[in-house]
Amino acid sequence: MLKLNDTELLRTGVFINGAWSDSAGGPAIPVYNPATGQVIVEVNGADREATVNAIEGAADAQKDWAARPAKERSAILRRWFDLVVANSEDLARILTAEQGKPLAEARGEILYGAAFFEWFAEEAKRVYGETIPSPDRERRMMVMKQPIGVCGAITPWNFPMAMIPRKAAPALAAGCTMVLKPASATPLSALALGELASRAGVPAGVFQVVPGSASVVGEEIVTNPLVRKITFTGSTEVGSHLMAKAAPTVKKLSLELGGNAPVLVFDDADLEVAVKGAIATKFRNMGQTCVCANRIYVQDGIYDHFVEAFSKAVGAMKVGDGMQEGTEQGPLIDTDAVLKVQEHIEDALANGGTLATGGKPHALGGTFFEPTVIANASADMKIAREETFGPVAPLFRFTEEADAIRVANDTEYGLAAYVFTRDNARIWRVTEGLEFGVVGVNTGNTSYEGSPFGGWKLSGVGREGSHHGIDEFLEIKYVCIAH
């Protein structure tokens, strides 16, 4: 059994209209611990009727929530922040148990997610309007911003404790209400956040947590006309599908989708900084992160040194149960993830790649996998085109800067990219030439609640975090007054 200081945080029902229910009509959802393959608990799934009830409850609650002074909404979000921080150890244990990431990473995710409550508690008080100089003496013109209304949120399994606050905080700050369908692999994090929302004073119906299937709960959220906005984080394939499903009711959309991040390491880079940064962005969450390096391009002059230093560091990473302090790489989320990783490795080796370290399932068994480095990677490999979403780093060579920018951009995705160089002029040339929404220079860690996060091309629409993040949940109203 999961050891928690506050066992009330381990919730297994649905959270609708401020009440917990263990009978929401849907099939039970077994939540597995990826490290052991054992069921932690079963969560009660919702059926369509319960989902409709949640949406209607959110619609009933939304007007009063929007009518509250922004300072009141701000204070409640701040309390939510305080409660997440105060319970961060329990939340980290819940996250590691259901998702597999090492406790150290889980603790970081909890605080990163909490920071969105802190940031948007402040943004709630700064939703400003405008006045427009009138073109004549008879009329006065102004612009006000008002909440969109009921928002549907659908979130992935890889960062539940960050992705959910990254949506709920701006939505509630703006005066919207939210109906959330978490990923069925990691519903416990969402339910724990629901418990803390209740303790923070989030009114009944304002934040609904509705675990359940994509085909029932997800489908209702994206098609119900009471839902005016969809904020989705997940794969590009599903995101594209949801765009089509939401079209008949013309819902507003925020889509945070898949990625295929390139890393460019130039000859003049600090080798130690580049190795450290590339490992940070490649192996975070066992490579199961949308902004993970998927392709690492190293200039000819530094290539051999980089392969040696990078492979040595990767080979030394400690693989184990995320609950064990000191673990650096936990298990992958499921066997499908392992199969995808093996497919990319086999394809790369069959197409000229050479194994520098790792390459096979870990001796621990289950879904544990050896952190892997493949040298002499080439563009015709699957790993160059598809999102691996696992602990495999292909190392490509390049000669000219212009070639590096070209190959980096040669993808249908456009989420994150990384550049390692100590040449300031090159930093500007390369970052301006990259077609990505997030660019890290001499770092593999760009995450920050105050920065606009989102992708170009097939990586999505809209931004989360920063002052841009609250605009995703606001409508603009132009008012023209004639005297």
Ligand X SMILES: O=C[C@H](O)CS(=O)(=O)O
Ligand Y SMILES: NC(=O)c1ccc[n+]([C@@H]2O[C@H](COP(=O)([O-])OP(=O)(O)OC[C@H]3O[C@@H](n4cnc5c(N)ncnc54)[C@H](O)[C@@H]3O)[C@@H](O)[C@H]2O)c1
Which residues are annotated as catalytic? 256
* 154 scored as a contact of ligand Y (CB under 6 A): yes
Query: Binder to ligand X among 120, 283, 418, 453 (CB under 6 A)?
Result: 453
Give the nearer residue to ligand X in terms of CB position, either 220 or 256: 256
User: And the tokens for 459?
Assistant: 């990586």
Query: Binder to ligand Y among 32, 157, 283, 418 (CB under 6 A)?
Result: 157
Neighbours of 113 (CB within 10 A): 27
Q: What's the closest the beta carbon of residue 358 comes to ligand X, in angstroms?
A: 22
Give the nearer residue to ligand Y in terms of CB position, either 76 or 230: 230
Residue 157 contacts residue 45 (beta carbons within 8 Å): no
Alpha-carbon distance of 261 to 265, in angstroms, equals: 13
Residues 6 or more apart in contact with residue 206 via CB below 8 angstroms: 58, 61, 62, 65, 172, 177, 178, 197
Residue 351 contacts residue 378 (beta carbons within 8 Å): yes
* 119 scored as a contact of ligand X (CB under 6 A): no
Span from 65-73, 158-166, 204-212, 360-368 in contact with ligand X (CB under 6 A):
158-166
Lay out the site mask for ligand Y across 378-417 (x = CB under 6 A, - = otherwise): ---------x-x-------------------------x--
Query: Binder to ligand X among 53, 88, 96, 289 (CB under 6 A)?
Result: 289
Query: Binder to ligand X among 43, 171, 197, 291 (CB under 6 A)?
Result: 291
Span from 260-268, 289-297, 300-308, 342-350 in contact with ligand X (CB under 6 A):
289-297
Lay out the site mask for ligand Y across 447-466 (x = CB under 6 A, - = otherwise): --------x----x------
257 binds, among ligand X, ligand Y, none (CB under 5 to 8 A by kind): ligand Y
Residues in 208-237 at the binding interface with ligand Y, rule: CB under 6 A? 214, 218-219, 222, 233-235
How many chain residues touch ligand Y (CB under 6 A)?
30
Query: Binder to ligand X among 44, 99, 158, 466 (CB under 6 A)?
Result: 158
Give the nearer residue to ligand Y in terms of CB position, either 66 or 461: 461
241 binds, among ligand Y, ligand X, none (CB under 5 to 8 A by kind): ligand Y
Query: Binder to ligand Y among 140, 199, 241, 382 (CB under 6 A)?
Result: 241
Residues forming the site for ligand X (CB under 6 A): 158-159, 162, 289-291, 447, 453
The residues binding ligand Y (CB under 6 A) are: 154-159, 163, 181, 183-184, 214, 218-219, 222, 233-235, 238, 241-242, 256-259, 290, 387, 389, 415, 455, 460
